[in-house]
Structures are given as structure tokens and as C-alpha cells.
Amino acid sequence: MVDEGVSFTISLSENSRIPKYKQIVDSIINNISTGKLQMDQKLPSINMLSEEFYLSRDTVEKAYNILKKRKIITPIRGKGYYVTRTKLIAKVNVLFLINKLSSYKMRIYNSFINSIGGNSQTDLHIYHCDQTLFLNLIDKYLGGYDYYVIMPHFKSDDLTHFSSGEGVLQAINKIPKEKLVILDNNKGIEDSVIEVCQDYENDIYGALKQGLAKISRYNKLILIYPESSVYPYPRRILNGFKRFCVDSGLEYEVLREVYDDIVLKKGDLFITIEESDLVSLVKQIRDKDFELGREIGVISYNDTPLKELLGITVISTDFKMMGATAASMILNKESGKIKNPFNFIDRNSI
């Protein structure tokens, strides 16, 4: 096939079990990767390809739609389809959907990118725990990627957390299970080929058990758990905390936030989830002349480099390992469900 003096070929095999539309996609990508197709070069029309290879228009149109979704080609009204992306052409194309742009989520994403290497193209989208936005993204990009990496965290109208409502499950079920990768949270999603997740209730329970020798020195445990939030947290965290306290015979209380004039007493041990609550609590402890780590203890949920620098004890999953494990499984074409490590990390605040 020739276009303005530049030759490229589209190879189709009648004996292959690969669908014809996928063979067209792979052929065009191969031509771009080898330099036979250049940026802004015009592709054969749908009619031309269908006539030359005795294919239905629907088959060719499906191939072009996949290339269009990947932004490899762009249609120009009245002129045809043109190559618009020549740098992509990676062996693995990944759509990465994150529920919020937090430091924790970005550590997972960055670890994934660093581990999967240069033979991939990963497109990142943030859906802000919004089910409608998530569904629109799935609908827009369905069929355009080799893998769909999803962190399923959503918020209801009253700003509480849910993992997989009916609409979410219907959308995810449209993704072939061999292309579905679930990270961080999974409750009710069964058909993923790769899963690297936390177990929120048992994770917090187990991590607090690891630190029981120090925790039991305190008179009362107070969990700061926001009942509703712009980015809500799984209620399983709260359930695991309560179960730990009951099983360990420890007095406890659950508060929705760190109040500006919160009552502090010697022997209190606070567990905070949100960064703003941690900052407010530590400031009030210092302002009221309590000694952090001796008179009042603080444990923070989810580790960050800053918490490590400041000596804040944490209970946390290993975000870096989560991203690296998922990337490794994709590269090695592995499947399976892996529980990501979650630990009590003892520092100076308890």
C-alpha cells in the first residue's frame, strides 16, 4: 500500500486466531514503530482497506476506533485518518485509574512506572472517587489498552465510602478479565487477572497487634475516623480498630476529627488517618506542653517520607511494593491475587 511515495504494509493472516481488527491494529502500530508510517501521514480509508482485504467496514472501523482511542490516529473531517502519535508504540499500553491525587497513590503509580520500564505507555487518569467520572472514563477508553489498572474507591451522595456498586461492577465486567488489574482495594470484584490489594480490617488489626507491647502502655486509644469526607475511607478500617481494642481489652473512643480545642490527657494514644488531623493534633500536643511519645502517643495511618523524617509512628501498607508487584506481574504475564504487606513501623511518637 502506497501513500504519497511512502510504502507500508498491512499483514493479515487467514489462519491466525487473532481477530482481523486486532491484526490491523498491530500492523499499523508495527509500521509506526519501524518508521514506515510517519507523523501526519494519511492512512488508507476504511473503504479502501475493506475492499482490498475483503473485510467488512465494521471490522476496519473497529480497528481504527481502537487506534483513535489510543490517540495513535486522528480523523480529520472530509480528509481521512492521520497518524498523530509516533512515540507511543510500546509493547504494553496501560490505562491507570487512580481515585485521588494523594502522595500515597502517586507512590504506587511512580513505583509502577519505574518498574514496568520503557517498553510501555501508561496513561494516568484521576476520577476523584466520582462514580460518574469513572464510568465515563471506562466507556471512553474501553478496548483501547492492553491493561486497565484500577483502584476502586468511590463516594456516595452522603460522602461515605463504597468499593463496587452495581454500575461500577457492570462497567468493570466489560473489561476482559485478562486485562484487568485491581490495586489497593477490592471488595466485590472477582474477575481480575492481577490483584495486589490491602485487607483493610485485618491489616489495621494485625499491625496494631504488632505494636501491642507499646500500645498497651496507654490508658485510652482514640481513632480519628472521618465519617464523611471528599475522599472517604473504607469503614473496614474502623471495624478492624474496634475489634483490636475489644480483643486486647483496651478502652477506646472514635472521633470524627481533631477539634481545635480537643481535650488531651496523659495516657492518650491517638490514631489519625487524614494529614490535616495529624498536623492539628501534634500542634496542640506541643502547645499544651505534653511530651509526644511519652505522655501522649500518636500513630498515623499511611506512611510518607515526611512522617519518617519527623519520627511519626505509622501503620501502613508498602505503597512502593504494590506498584512494583503489579508491574512485575504484567511484564511476566503472571496472574494471581496478592495481599500487599501492611506493618506497624515504630518511631518516636509512641
Span 100-124, pLDDT tens digits: 999 999 999 999 999 998 778 899 9
Given this model, what pLDDT does residue 7 score? 59
Determine, yes or no, domain membership for 7: no
Domain, as residue range, for 288: 200-316
Determine, yes or no, domain membership for 15: no
Label residue 21 left, alpha or beta by phi (over 0 means left) and psi (-120 to 50 means alpha): alpha
Given this model, what pLDDT does residue 193 score? 82
Based on the fold, state whether residues 239 and 290 are members of the same structural domain.
yes
CB 100 within 8 A of CB 129: yes
273 or 16: which carries more pLDDT confidence? 273
Dihedral of CA 209/212/214/218: which sign?
Answer: positive
Based on the fold, state whether residues 216 and 112 are members of the same structural domain.
no
The residue from 37, 63, 83 where one domain ends is 83
The pLDDT tens digits of the residues spanning 173-196 come to: 999 999 999 999 987 777 778 999
Based on the fold, state whether residues 235 and 288 are members of the same structural domain.
yes
Q: What is the CATH number of the domain that holds 127?
A: 3.40.50.2300
Task: Report H helices in the chain.
Answer: 20-33, 46-52, 57-69, 103-116, 131-141, 166-172, 200-210, 212-215, 235-248, 275-287, 305-310, 319-331
The pLDDT tens digits of the residues spanning 318-348 come to: 999 999 999 999 998 899 999 999 999 999 9
- Helix, strand or coil, per DSSP, at residue 315: strand
- When divided into structural domains, the chain yields a total of 3
Q: What is the mean pLDDT of the chain?
A: 91
Provide the residue type at 231 as one letter.
Y
pTM of the model: 0.76
Provide φ and ψ at 166, rounded to 5°. Answer: -60, -45
Mean pLDDT of 279-283: 97
- Name the one residue in this structure whose C-alpha cell is 508504540: 89
Given this model, what pLDDT does residue 90 score? 55
- Name the one residue in this structure whose C-alpha cell is 468511590: 154
Sheet-wide strand order for 220-224: 251-255, 220-224, 268-272, 297-301, 313-317, 342-345
Based on the fold, state whether residues 119 and 218 are members of the same structural domain.
no
Determine, yes or no, domain membership for 349: no
Based on the fold, state whether residues 297 and 331 are members of the same structural domain.
no
Q: What is the CATH number of the domain that holds 30?
A: 1.10.10.10
Based on the fold, state whether residues 282 and 329 are members of the same structural domain.
no
Given this model, what pLDDT does residue 259 score? 95
Determine, yes or no, domain membership for 10: no
CB 93 within 8 A of CB 48: no
CA neighbor of 219 nearest in space, from 254, 257, 266 = 266
Distance between first and last Cα of the chain: 71
Provide the residue type at 232 as one letter.
P
- Helix, strand or coil, per DSSP, at residue 223: strand
The pLDDT tens digits of the residues spanning 40-90 come to: 899 999 999 999 889 999 999 999 999 988 888 999 988 899 998 766 555
Determine, yes or no, domain membership for 182: yes
Provide the residue type at 78 as one letter.
G
- Helix, strand or coil, per DSSP, at residue 7: strand
Based on the fold, state whether residues 305 and 326 are members of the same structural domain.
no
Based on the fold, state whether residues 259 and 218 are members of the same structural domain.
yes
